[in-house]
Homo-oligomer: A and B are copies of this chain.
Amino acid sequence: MTPDPTRIEDLATPALLLDEAKMTRNIERLAARARALGVSLRPHLKTAKCTEIARRLGGGMPGPITVSTLAEAEVFHAAGHDDILYAVGIAPQKLARVQALREGGCDLTVILDSPEQAKAVVEARVPALIEIDSDGHRGGRRAEDPALIEIGRILHGTECLRGVMTHAGESYGVRGEAAHAAFAERERCAVVAAAEALRRDGLPCPVVSVGSTPTAHAARDLTGVTDLRAGVYMFFDLVMAGIEVCKTEDIALSVLTTVIGHQRDKGWVMIDAGWMAMSRDRGTAAQDVDQGYGLVCDVEGRVLDDLIVGSANQEHGIVSLRPGADAALPDLPIGTRLRILPNHACATAAQHDRYHLLPAADGALKVWHRFGGW
C-alpha cells in the first residue's frame, strides 16, 4: 500500500475521515455532563480503538477507560492507561492474560454474573464488578436475585469484589431525551438496589457503574452512582441522530468515496464505498428514517438532501434518492468525491485501520492509526 498522502485530494478512496473539531466538542459535552452529575467518566474505547483519541479523552493524560477486548487493554496499557475496565463477561481462559496485565502494573477489572466465573476470578486474584441486568438487554443479575449475594460472597473472600455495573442497551431503541432519562433512572435504580443488597449482606461495593451513550446524555440525577461509561459519543452516528442524542451535524466520522458509475434510468450513482467501507450495519433500518447504508454529503460534509446509499455490495455502494423523496438527483459526474455519514460509528470505524483527520492543518492531513483484533 502507498504511504499516507498529506492532502485530501490525494487520498485513495474509500477512506475514513474524522473531524477533530466535532470530536472535541462531543468529548467536552459529555465531560461537562459527568462533572455536573458528580460522577467519574470512564470512556469506552471500543469505538475509537486509537491511542491518540484515548489520550484526548483524559484531557491529554491517559485516564480511566473501558474496553471491549483484551487486545484493547494491552494496547492502551502500553500507551500509559493503568485503570481499565474490561466490560465483557470474563471467560476463565482469558484470566492468564488479565493476570499478566495486572502483574505489569495495570489495574484491570473484569465483569461477571455467575458463581462459576466468580470462583475462577477469585482463584486468579482478579478484581471484578458484578454485572446487573437493568433492562433485559443482555447479561447480568437483578438486585433481588439470590445469586447476586452468592457471587458477592465468593468474590469478597479474597477481596475481589469491586462493585456493580450495568448497561442500558435497550435505550438505543427509544427516541428523545425524556425516554432516555427514564432509561437512565432505570440503570441507576438497578445498580443502586444491587449495591444496597450487597451492603446489607455486609459486602463492600465501592464502584457503582452505569452507562450507555443515550442514558449518559439524558441522566438527570445519578445519586449513588460513581462511574459513567459511554463509547460512541465521541463520534456519534446516524443511529444516535435518529434517536435524538445528537444532531446530524455533530457526527464526526465519515467515509470519503468517489463516484465510479451511473445507471441513469434507475437514478443510481455508483460509488467505491460498499459494505467493506461502511460495514453491513443497518442500524437505522428499524428507525423512523431509514438511512440505508449511510447519508450522502458533498466533499465538504454538507448533507445532500434525501440522498442515501440505498444498497451496497462489497466494494460498490449504490447512491439513490430516499423512497418518496421530493428532491432531484444531483449531477454527480464520475470522479466526484462524496462523504458518507455512517449508521453505526463502531461498525464503520472497525472496517478501517486509520483515521484521516479534518480539518487538514496547512493542507497537511494528519493520520491516526487504529487497531483491531482480540
Contacts and interface: CB of A to CB of B under 8 A. Distances in A.
B272 A88 contact: yes
Interface residues of A, number: 62
A262 B114 contact: yes
A1 interface: yes
A221 interface: no
A280 to B, nearest CB: 4
A281 B91 CA distance: 26
Nearest to A266: B136
A15 interface: yes
A248 interface: no
Contact of A373 (B90, B259, B333, B353): B353
A347 interface: yes
A91 to B, nearest CB: 4
A169 interface: yes
Contact of A313 (B91, B169, B275, B277): B169
Given A1-B374, A89-B316, A93-B258, 13 more contacts: A2-B97, A13-B91, A14-B374, A15-B374, A46-B315, A69-B315, A88-B315, A89-B260, A116-B334, A138-B316, A277-B374, A280-B281, A350-B351
B89 A261 contact: yes
A224 interface: no
Q: Which of A260, A262, A335, A346 has the most CB of B within 10 A?
A: A260
Contacts of A138: 263, 270, 313, 316, 318
A206 interface: no
A314 B46 contact: yes
A51 interface: no
B1 A373 contact: yes
A117 interface: yes
Contacts of A139: 260-261, 263, 270, 316
Interface in A185-217: none
A91 B334 contact: yes
Q: Is the interface of A mostly helix, strand, loop or mixed?
A: loop
A71 B353 CA distance: 13
A46 B270 CA distance: 19
B12 A94 contact: yes
Contacts of A68: 276, 314-315
25 contacts: A12-B374, A13-B91, A15-B374, A46-B315, A88-B260, A88-B272, A89-B316, A90-B260, A91-B259, A91-B272, A91-B334, A91-B335, A92-B335, A93-B258, A117-B261, A138-B313, A139-B263, A139-B270, A169-B313, A276-B350, A276-B372, A280-B280, A280-B347, A352-B373, A353-B373
A166 to B, nearest CB: 14
A70, A133, A263: residue with the most chain B Cβ atoms closer than 10 Å: A263
Nearest to A75: B1
A312 to B, nearest CB: 10
Contacts of A315: 46, 68-69, 88
Given A139-B270, A279-B280, A91 B258 contact: yes
A33 interface: no
Contacts of A263: 133, 138-139
A88 B43 CA distance: 39
Interface in A1-38: 1-2, 12-15
A282 interface: yes
A12 B353 CA distance: 21
Given A69-B315, A169-B313, A353 B372 contact: yes
